[in-house]
Amino acid sequence: MQTASAPARTRLGLALLVLATAQLVISLDFNIVYVALPSIGSGLGFSGQDLQWVVSAYVVATGGFLLLGGRAADLLGRRRVFVAASLLYAVSSLIGGLSGSAGVLVAVRAVQGIGGSLLFPATLSLINTLFEEGPSRNRALSVWGAAGAGGLCFGSLLGGVLVDAFGWPSVFVVNVPLAGALALAGWVLFPPDEPLSRRGDFDLLGALSATGGITLLVFVLVHGPEAGWGSPTILVSAVLSVLLLALFAVVEKRTRAPLTPARLFTHRGLLGAMGMTALFNATFSSVPYFLTVYFQTVRGYSAIGTGLAFLLPAVVVAVGTQAGERAVAVLGVRTMLVGGLAVGAVGALALALAFDDHGSYLRLVPGIVLMSLGQGAAWTGMWITAAAGVEPGDQGVASGLASTTLQVGGAVGLAALIAVGDVGNHGLSQGELLDGVRTAVYVIAAGICAGAVAVLALRGRPAR
């Protein structure tokens, strides 16, 4: 019996390594281009206004297709979707590295975003089906979360090194061997999917209306602050988004095989996790933007210097994911989430108080450490909550729902925080910019604190 279980454990360990690497690639791909933006703009002749679409095209496509990607993993097969998404990443990254025009690169970033919207829920649903609910799954989610946190922060450093050494195309080409290896490893290590003929009907109209409505919604939230909320493009997109989402709601009530089964909207744990992912991305995930503004614009750090400054939060967030997993076993998910959010709120407050136009990096360390610990713990806890009690056949769409609110929450939160801090105004003096960054992080601390109070107020026995 021991000899039979050892290979199974080894195979699961290798599968988790692949799934964690996939999350690392997703996080790197999202963050690595920030440092390369100036070089991309000058190399391909982007205007100052259009350069933002190197980032925005990825965000809009990812946010819009996540729900579809999650359901596709359930219906088409998790291994198939994982492999196809990895190959899509590899091919689009290669084309991106060879791009000779701004339009091609923006299109490539949109395709990469679609790849991310397929890969993220497929990866998460594979974890939630390969690992049994409880300590085994919690441990796997903490490893997966640590890899994602590391990718978000190490992406800045890696991007700076690659751009300085090889130019901006290298931030795309670096994904090609990684994504190709993921596709091969996933095909070898993950359990085979059922034949497609045995799968249920696919809600095509629901998929199209949901994807179109969410994509337009994310587009409005991302592009609205710059274009102006009253511009014709934003108004038309907002109206179309509302109409498509209304159509989606009607279709889901009448179709025999809905894209999002109604039973999921009665699952309190999943609904709570969806609210938590929106809050998480609106608060914790917005901090790197304001830290980048502070480091590069206020303090004058170089690209590599900024990347090095993000090493500490990367390491501490990874530690937080592991600490969160262990705390769940002792305290339960709800208590751990409240504690993690409280620590994160105190850290954000300490960080805001430490901002100074001439202070050393060491002044920021206490706030960064506390906030990053809370961030890592909250990340692990919210995905444990999102998967708990969900049937295996619904894990993909549940992951898609929670990750969609993650993206929408991030778009809403960052747009609101930039407006509150007025840091998007290029005419600000250094002192005014510093005040704006500080104000935004104060609001982030308040938002995290409100999340802790909301979780504490939830009734019911905390799941372990």
Q: Which of 27, 244, 17 is nearest to 148 (CA)?
A: 27
Give me the percent of the chain exceeding a pLDDT of 70.
92
Cβ atoms of 100 and 149 within 8 Å: the answer is: no
Residues 237-295: tens digit of each pLDDT: 899 999 998 988 888 777 777 777 777 777 777 888 888 888 998 899 888 888 878 88
Query: Residue holding tokens 């993000």?
Result: 310
Which tokens go with 255? 């179709």
How large is the C-alpha radius of gyration of the chain?
A: 21
Cα angle, residue 385 at apex, residues 381 and 389 outer, rounded to 5°: 150
CA 410 to chain centre: 9
pLDDT band at 461 (very low <50, low <70, confident <90, very high): very low
Residues 53-112: tens digit of each pLDDT: 787 788 888 878 887 888 888 888 889 999 999 999 999 999 998 988 888 998 998 899
Q: Where are the beta strands (DSSP E) in 140-233?
A: none
In order, the DSSP letters of 321-340 are HHHHHHHHHHH-HHHHHHHH
Model-wide pTM > 0.75: yes
Q: In one letter, which amino acid is 335?
A: T
Length of the chain: 464
Phi, psi of 100 (to 5 degrees): -120, 5
> CB burial class (10 A; 0-12, 13-18, 19+) of residue 344?
buried
